[in-house]
Structure 1
Amino acid sequence: MSDESMKREYYQALVERDSAYDGIFFVGIKTTGVFCHATCPARKPNYENCLFYKTAEEALLAGFRPCKRCKPLSFPQKQLPLVQKMVALVEENPEKRWKDSDFSELGVHAATARRQFKKNYNMTFVQYARARRMGIAMNAIRTGEKIINTQIDSGYASSSGFHDAFSKIMGRTPNRSRKIKILYAKWIDTPLGPMVSIADEDFLYLLEFADRRGLEREIERLRNRLNAAIIPGATKRSDQIKEELHDYFDHELSMFETPIMFIGSDFQKSVWKQLMKLKMGETATYKDLAVLIGNPKAVRAIGNANGANQLAIIVPCHRVIQSDGTLGGYGGGVERKKWLLAHEQSEQ
């Protein structure tokens, strides 16, 4: 079944409130900013305003909040009082990064909270809180609207919750300091899922899949290194990489030309530069790379440098495999790595 056929099938199930599809998909509604399960009793949106996700976490990361009518986080069983309370706490304080001590203050053991969330939603409470926090930032980037105009759609009674949650990811807002470097984040839809670029008019600093684990930390490292704030918007470089990615996925590009800026140690930069010498359709092992940079014993360090790469696809860490021929890990997920290699090799 094609992606379009699947989306049409899911939309029909949504219109008919087909309970057989509850838990199979979640739908994000662009016009309201909420996500629902298949049997939501609310008035049905138009097809073009629907985005479909396999998990609640994906919908959260895309910037949607749980619908208050159908309570999608209550499926497949009634939401426990503890879980209900914790979800409400996230909405009250979305920028908060939860620690074990926070659970103790609530009279709850962290392991209990983790277990109950994992059982119901296939993610821990910390994952949920992170996904909601990241979703706020991603939603602002995806819509491209000014921060002050998106707070209402984000479900907050006042602007402070939205500003604080956004700033937790993207850094201080511009009006707090005139010395802060301003970078612009742009949402890019691709066949492998949405990506986020961060750039100024001169360079591209980050290109990552929006659902990558650790993206929040990557962004934090970037803005701390550059004393930067990141706001939604487009630049000459973000427009350039968007066009080049389109050509890449259409087999019409063999080399990226968008000017990039490496943010890392000298060793990491040496690894990334070596990676960029790998042509499309080629692969190398971690050991190969260690030899090429003149440090044969640095295999593990090569792996760490790959993991710290902030320019997915452009700096092709997906072309690095294990010595036994297996794929190894990939920040964007092994399935994406497999797809990218097959895509590039099919061009040869």
Structure 2
Amino acid sequence: MDTLFSLPDDATLYRALTERDAAYEGRAWVGVRTTGIFCRLTCPARKPRPENCQWFDSPAAALGAGFRPCLRCRPVAPEAEGDPVVRRMLDALASDPARRWTEAGVAALGLDPSTVRRAFRRHFGMSFLDYARQSRLRAGLRGLSGGAPVIEAQLDAGFDSASGFRDAFARLFGHPPAAMARGGPGLVAEWLDTPLGGMIAVADDRSLHLLEFTDRRELAAELRRLSTAAQGRIGLGRSAVTDAAEAQLARYFAGESGEFDLPLVLHGTPFLRQVWTELRAIPPGATVSYGQLAARLGRPTAARAVARAVGTNQIAIVIPCHRVLGADGSLTGYAGGLWRKQALIGIERKLAQAGHDSAG
């Protein structure tokens, strides 16, 4: 989606960079040609020379140009980080990932727990305490996936009791961590890092079954449904399909290719599968409205049903539900967050333009 903010001249932007002018937060980003990294203009890192700067009006544009996000200022992070309350708590969480947070701990930082709770629910759809528990659970998943014993993964993730760790895993996957650590007869789950955040991939040795951002609210329900549909437990580990998914995602985010040729298993009704299959026919760089998608499916009056089907897609990016916009072209309805939707569309528009330029 095109920005409504026109970038000023380079000298003005460079002055804003050196002064760390917060007025440009969410409006302008800088790519450093010598490092291949892009940042917020408020980044505390050492400032580059002006001739090494390239300016962008969105993180998606910077990603599409091949720049990697800075690990210090996290320029692809959601707008929530512009909220000082959220930023304070995210920094506290990052400084001690294994800490078991309570409302008393939040209050000890001089913040009102109810204010923090409302801020996180507004931006993430969950309270800070739930967000912190989910973060610790992700750490446990990564430990188990890397081969750590259950007790070691539990302690590294900050769970002070085996029952708490076991119950948290069971709520997410439907089975205790010991069963998952042994793996299952077919499906394996693995954490994948991307510039837009962590993802969980679930695959067998032939096909990809699920690919979701780890902060998606519906992830636990999706994993439980998948376990039931697949008639087997989801273990921890990788398959050749996981490796292929990781490699193709890397090419995608590097701006090298918008195509995915992964074999997929679609768990849903015939109508859902029809919608998801049609989504894959939308080429990178193109977008359609929900009404247009319904018409393409031969159901011009079923735009709402089609929108619900798009929202239940559980193979993000590969099945490009982010390419569907509101009737007025606005960004709507992306479970991974509208900031991610904008970034993905920006990446693909750059890919499409690069392909057009090379063809010309």
The answer to whether the Cα contact below 8 Å between 1:290 and 1:296 also exists between their aligned partners in 2 is yes
Indicate whether 1:77 and 2:126 are aligned.
no
CA 1:77–1:169 in structure 2 vs 1: closer, same or farther (change >3 Å)? Answer: same
CA 1:226–1:220 in structure 2 vs 1: closer, same or farther (change >3 Å)? Answer: same
Q: Deviations over 1:102-145 (max 9, x none)?
A: xxxxxxxxxxxxx46535x5449963454344334321333433
CA 1:280–1:172 in structure 2 vs 1: closer, same or farther (change >3 Å)? Answer: same
Indicate whether 1:169 and 2:169 are aligned.
no
CA 1:225–1:131 in structure 2 vs 1: closer, same or farther (change >3 Å)? Answer: farther
Shift of 1:201: 1.4
Cα distance in 2 between the residues matched to 1:263 and 1:62? 39
Show structure 1 runs of 5+ residues with no match: 13-48, 84-114
Cα distance in 2 between the residues matched to 1:214 and 1:62? 27
Cα distance in 1 between the residues matched to 2:209 and 2:91? 24
Aligned equivalent of 1:240, options 241, 244, 247: 244
The answer to whether the Cα contact below 8 Å between 2:280 and 2:320 also exists between their aligned partners in 1 is yes
The answer to whether the Cα contact below 8 Å between 1:62 and 1:138 also exists between their aligned partners in 2 is no
Q: Write out aligned runs for 1:73-152 (5 A).
A: 73-74=106-107, 76-77=109-110, 115=114, 118=117, 122-123=120-121, 127-143=127-143, 144-145=145-146, 146=148, 147-152=150-155
Indicate whether 1:342 and 2:346 are aligned.
yes
Indicate whether 1:155 and 2:155 are aligned.
no
Which amino acid is the alignment partner of residue 118 of structure 1? R
Instruction: Tell me the secondary structure at the aligned position of residue 231 of structure 1.
Output: strand
CA 1:307–1:281 in structure 2 vs 1: closer, same or farther (change >3 Å)? Answer: same
Of 54-63 and 332-341, more deviation after overlay is shown by 54-63
Cα distance in 1 between the residues matched to 2:276 and 2:348? 19
CA 1:208–1:139 in structure 2 vs 1: closer, same or farther (change >3 Å)? Answer: same
Q: Write out aligned runs for 1:138-287 (5 A).
A: 138-143=138-143, 144-145=145-146, 146=148, 147-173=150-176, 181-287=185-291
The answer to whether the Cα contact below 8 Å between 2:189 and 2:200 also exists between their aligned partners in 1 is yes
CA 1:339–1:75 in structure 2 vs 1: closer, same or farther (change >3 Å)? Answer: farther
Shift of 1:228: 3.4
Indicate whether 1:289 and 2:288 are aligned.
no
Cα distance in 2 between the residues matched to 1:61 and 1:317? 31
Cα distance in 1 between the residues matched to 2:254 and 2:300? 37
Of 305-314 and 185-194, more deviation after overlay is shown by 185-194
Instruction: Tell me the secondary structure at the aligned position of residue 150 of structure 1.
Output: helix
Instruction: Tell me the secondary structure at the aligned position of residue 233 of structure 2.
Output: strand
Which amino acid is the alignment partner of residue 287 of structure 2? T
Q: Deviations over 1:234-254 (max 9, x none)?
A: 111111100000011122223
Which amino acid is the alignment partner of residue 346 of structure 1? K
Cα RMSD, aligned residues only: 3.7
Instruction: Tell me the secondary structure at the aligned position of residue 152 of structure 1.
Output: helix
Shift of 1:207: 0.8
CA 1:250–1:337 in structure 2 vs 1: closer, same or farther (change >3 Å)? Answer: same
Cα distance in 1 between the residues matched to 2:337 and 2:218? 12
Shift of 1:275: 0.5
Shift of 1:339: 1.4
Instruction: Tell me the secondary structure at the aligned position of residue 312 of structure 1.
Output: coil
Q: Deviations over 1:273-319 (max 9, x none)?
A: 00001111111111111111111111001110111000111000111
Show structure 2 runs of 5+ residues with no match: 1-29, 32-36, 47-70, 353-360
Identity across the alignment (%) = 32
Which amino acid is the alignment partner of residue 156 of structure 1? F
Cα distance in 2 between the residues matched to 1:153 and 1:175? 16
Aligned equivalent of 1:304, options 287, 304, 308: 308
Q: Write out aligned runs for 1:26-65 (5 A).
A: 54=81, 55=86, 56=89, 64-65=97-98
Which gives a bigger RCO, structure 1 or 2 (Cα 8 Å, sep 6+)?
Answer: 2
